[in-house]
Structure 1
Amino acid sequence: MEAYKRIFVIVLDSLGIGAMPDAERFGDKGVDTFGHILDTMGTLDIPNLKKLGMLNLHKGGKMEGVENPIGRYLRIGETSNGKDTMTGHWEMMGINTTKPFKTFTETGFPQELIGELEKRCGKRVIGNKSASGTEIIEELGEEEINTGAMIVYTSADSVLQICGNEETFDLANLYRCCEIARELTLKDEWRVGRVIARPYIGKKKGEFKRTSNRHDYALKPSNATALNALKDAGYDVIGVGKINDIFCGEGITKTYHSESSLHGMEQTVDICKEDFHGLCFVNLVDFDALWGHRRNPEGYGREIEKFDKGLGKLMETMREDDLVILTADHGNDPTYTGTDHTREYVPFIAYAKQMKEGGKLPNQDTFAIIGATIAENFGVQMPEGTIGTSILKELV
């Protein structure tokens, strides 16, 4: 018997809640994304997160928890060897990644890879360094337009990104070049988690603007996941935002592209008004992309406040047999050095209108409790080779 007909898992991309014991090995001693945002801001206008127990789970600034939170909450650690988007999301659905993806932050990509990319794409590569996407377009956009070259860059994450002006380097050609890059980076020595197409418009510096036609080319998951189990059993598996890209469409029955985190929450509320039976899996990327990597705690804090308003609308729309789980895939402390993700614990906050009581649950050592809990709710077996133990009995 299902406890819930529909489960919504919402990933607040990068909202970590404090350094894991092995954080120093990742260069992340003392990090705390949510705590340091609260310390910077003092207070945040987040009444819905507050009543669910977010501040009971993790205090900071001038804010305290509530006496009787209506959500069940705990802290979860990451078992996998990494701190990137794919590793975090894959672990939620049962995959333990022991071999981390490659990063090229310090050196740029090897010349052998760049040479092969130029040869097969028919374009000269410029850039080839770690950079902010908006900044490298300002720096090299005019050269790309005038010479027909293509901008290739990376970041602190395991990514190879290619910029293309939509007016001079058409989308189809940009996507073709990204597909070539994805094929090349399947080699172990060049194995990046994602290749990303980064289209933009404009003719000169000061006018360039990235468009919403971004497309991610991720590696296929290394194992079947809870998503596959649900889909194979005939349940709906709806992806919102980057979810379809992160899982290469594996186990997804329907997908929605989001233009922003605000848009993603609007889509989630709309989906909640429709009839479906299964999982709605949501990624809200702006916390990470706009504020974490750019080391802007104030912007991050305001983004959390915007999310809280959308969360309130979702809570009003929820049905009696709906369960919402809020979590994150890693940290990205906007007060820390560099621009990289940070190795942190993440929140697990669950809420349903039919829940008997709220309060704290024992902390867990893997994100995979999420997939295992969903699988048990719908009566499906987790695929062989996955990790995670269900905590469903604690959420009813």
Structure 2
Amino acid sequence: MKYRRIFTIVIDSLGVGALEDAAKYGDENADTLGHISETNKDMKIPNLQKLGMANLHNLKNIAPVENPLGYYTKLREMSNGKDTMTGHWEMMGLHITEPFKTFTETGFPKELIDELSRRTGKTIIGNKSASGTEILDELGEEEIATGHMIVYTSADSVLQICGNEETFGLEELYRCCEIAREITMKDEWKVGRIIARPYVGRKKGEFKRTANRHDYALKPYGKTALDALKTAGYDVISVGKIFDIFDGEGLTESNKSKSSVHGMEQTIEIAKRDFNGLCYVNLVDFDALWGHRRNPEGYAEELEKFDVKLGEFLENLKEDDLLIITADHGNDPTHSGTDHTREKVPFIAYSPSMSGHGKIDEQDTFAVIGATIADNFDVKMPEGTIGNSVLDKLI
């Protein structure tokens, strides 16, 4: 074992340039980080900069440093798709050949909606791609008045159901979501997650979503690096929506986050504790609040907030700790539409004990991450997984 603790932080959607097959996905020339730096020329990310982010990728007004602290490269996605679950599952060793279904442009098929309506006994309204706050302002009053059920989606592979906690009821909302999960196990309708979205309030402008959200996720299609670590007796601690993405599989502890800043605060507190294993962090606001809403200024401000917290985190990093910073896909806020973008992702690795630094050759799969973690703890990756370790390059 080279490192006693590994922190893997996923800056959700921070792509670093279009993949070679991006045109197949309508994402030619996408570049999340590059375009954010072009549209926010005053952006300052000094901690990412000193770790090597500007060496990794050409950024406007952020210069590469002569001696970056860490090792850096770009990872290409081997799986088919560009969604959250595909990216994270591949990081931990799974090769996803069939992308999860999305219904961003069309809403859900009539046959699916009809079956969901029949089995829940609800008239369904909505059935389109929308933000959670917008759909409530549009249809919340109608749902309360009529008992109808709001169903909507997003650019992710999700089916979301809203329910007012006082009039619809939490248990009823969960019941309807369980039915939706059963229905969407069909291959042609298979979405990654069903999400219960409870809210309170009685009129437009006053609706607020509550903390009683519940995700009904698909379980990973096979065992991952997380399962291997847990079986071997190591700690596998999650922060943010990692629990939802893996449906709790392979985890020994999970921590829900209220925001990306809160997620970093939780990670800093975990770094102050004693554990032996992996802390796996997802910071979702970059994607949910700024990428999908095509707001490069908000994205840049979120990066600056992250960078401040990253500085605090680095102060708590021990000699036998390893930090890996990466992403799960792109979401270029200057691109057309509101969907994720098919991009390479960063891989930055740093430990206070490293004597070297610099560029590593580009890697052909995100699974480098899981394989490297497993290699560090001398744990065999599960059968059928992909990925090669770069541990020997992190000297």
TM-based fold match above 0.5:
yes
Task: Please say which of residues 170-179 and 99-108 is displaced more in the overlay.
Answer: 170-179
Task: Please say which of residues 154-163 and 337-346 is displaced more in the overlay.
Answer: 154-163
CA positional deviation for 1:173? 2.2
Match in the other structure for 1:189: 188
Match in the other structure for 2:231: 232
User: Is residue 357 from structure 1 mapped to residue 359 from structure 2 by the alignment?
Assistant: no
Task: Please say which of residues 191-200 and 234-243 is displaced more in the overlay.
Answer: 191-200
Partners of 1:219 and 1:206 in 2: CA distance: 34
Amino acid of the residue matched to residue 17 of structure 2?
G
CA positional deviation for 1:43? 2.8
Partners of 2:327 and 2:127 in 1: CA distance: 30
Task: Please say which of residues 224-233 and 202-211 is displaced more in the overlay.
Answer: 202-211
User: Is residue 93 from structure 1 mapped to residue 92 from structure 2 by the alignment?
Assistant: yes
Partners of 2:351 and 2:170 in 1: CA distance: 43
Once the two structures are superposed, residues 53-73 of structure 1 have per-residue CA deviations (whole angstroms, 9 ceiling, x without a partner) of: 001111222221111100111
Secondary structure of the equivalent of 1:381?
coil
Once the two structures are superposed, residues 275-333 of structure 1 have per-residue CA deviations (whole angstroms, 9 ceiling, x without a partner) of: 11100000000000000000000000000011111111110011111101000000000
Task: Please say which of residues 201-210 and 312-321 is displaced more in the overlay.
Answer: 201-210
CA positional deviation for 1:360? 1.1
Match in the other structure for 2:367: 368
Match in the other structure for 1:244: 243
Partners of 2:101 and 2:88 in 1: CA distance: 17
CA positional deviation for 1:157? 1.9
Amino acid of the residue matched to residue 357 of structure 2?
G
Say if 1:184 and 1:226 are closer, same or farther in 2 by CA, change over 3 A. Answer: same
Secondary structure of the equivalent of 2:181?
helix
Amino acid of the residue matched to residue 364 of structure 1?
Q
Match in the other structure for 1:24: 23
Divergent runs of 4+, >6 A: none
Amino acid of the residue matched to residue 219 of structure 2?
K
Aligned residues: 395
Secondary structure of the equivalent of 1:320?
coil
Name the TM-score, length of structure 2 as normaliser: 0.98
Once the two structures are superposed, residues 320-373 of structure 1 have per-residue CA deviations (whole angstroms, 9 ceiling, x without a partner) of: 111010000000000111000000000000111101122111110100000000
CA positional deviation for 1:203? 1.2
User: Is residue 130 from structure 1 mapped to residue 129 from structure 2 by the alignment?
Assistant: yes
Say if 1:212 and 1:44 are closer, same or farther in 2 by CA, change over 3 A. Answer: farther
Match in the other structure for 2:291: 292
Partners of 1:19 and 1:229 in 2: CA distance: 32
Matches for 1:263-282 after TM superposition, within 5 Å: 263-282=262-281
Matches for 1:10-159 after TM superposition, within 5 Å: 10-159=9-158
Partners of 1:80 and 1:337 in 2: CA distance: 23
Task: Kindly indicate whether the alpha-carbon contact (under 8 Å) linking 2:93 and 2:225 is maintained by their aligned counterparts in 1.
Answer: yes
Unaligned runs of 5+ in 2: none
Match in the other structure for 2:175: 176
Task: Please say which of residues 181-190 and 325-334 is displaced more in the overlay.
Answer: 181-190
Amino acid of the residue matched to residue 187 of structure 2?
D
Match in the other structure for 2:205: 206
CA positional deviation for 1:210? 2.2
Once the two structures are superposed, residues 143-168 of structure 1 have per-residue CA deviations (whole angstroms, 9 ceiling, x without a partner) of: 01111111001122211111122222
Once the two structures are superposed, residues 153-201 of structure 1 have per-residue CA deviations (whole angstroms, 9 ceiling, x without a partner) of: 1122211111122222222322222121111111101111111122222
Secondary structure of the equivalent of 2:133?
helix
Task: Kindly indicate whether the alpha-carbon contact (under 8 Å) linking 2:44 and 2:62 is maintained by their aligned counterparts in 1.
Answer: no
Partners of 2:105 and 2:295 in 1: CA distance: 22
Amino acid of the residue matched to residue 161 of structure 1?
Q
Amino acid of the residue matched to residue 306 of structure 1?
K
Name the TM-score, length of structure 1 as normaliser: 0.98
CA positional deviation for 1:212? 3.1
Amino acid of the residue matched to residue 17 of structure 1?
V
Match in the other structure for 1:6: 5
Amino acid of the residue matched to residue 163 of structure 2?
G
Amino acid of the residue matched to residue 137 of structure 2?
E
Root-mean-square deviation (CA), in Å? 1.0
CA positional deviation for 1:213? 2.8
Give identity over the alignment, percent. Answer: 70
Task: Kindly indicate whether the alpha-carbon contact (under 8 Å) linking 2:8 and 2:281 is maintained by their aligned counterparts in 1.
Answer: yes
Task: Please say which of residues 123-132 and 296-305 is displaced more in the overlay.
Answer: 123-132
Once the two structures are superposed, residues 5-54 of structure 1 have per-residue CA deviations (whole angstroms, 9 ceiling, x without a partner) of: 00010000000000001000001011000000000001322111010000
Match in the other structure for 2:394: 395
Unaligned runs of 5+ in 1: none
Partners of 1:122 and 1:340 in 2: CA distance: 32
Amino acid of the residue matched to residue 168 of structure 1?
T
CA positional deviation for 1:115? 1.9
Matches for 1:261-340 after TM superposition, within 5 Å: 261-340=260-339
Partners of 1:321 and 1:180 in 2: CA distance: 47
Partners of 1:389 and 1:308 in 2: CA distance: 29
Amino acid of the residue matched to residue 25 of structure 2?
F
Amino acid of the residue matched to residue 269 of structure 1?
I
Partners of 1:349 and 1:171 in 2: CA distance: 42
Secondary structure of the equivalent of 1:172?
helix
CA positional deviation for 1:129? 1.2
CA positional deviation for 1:211? 2.6
Secondary structure of the equivalent of 2:198?
strand
Partners of 1:308 and 1:239 in 2: CA distance: 20
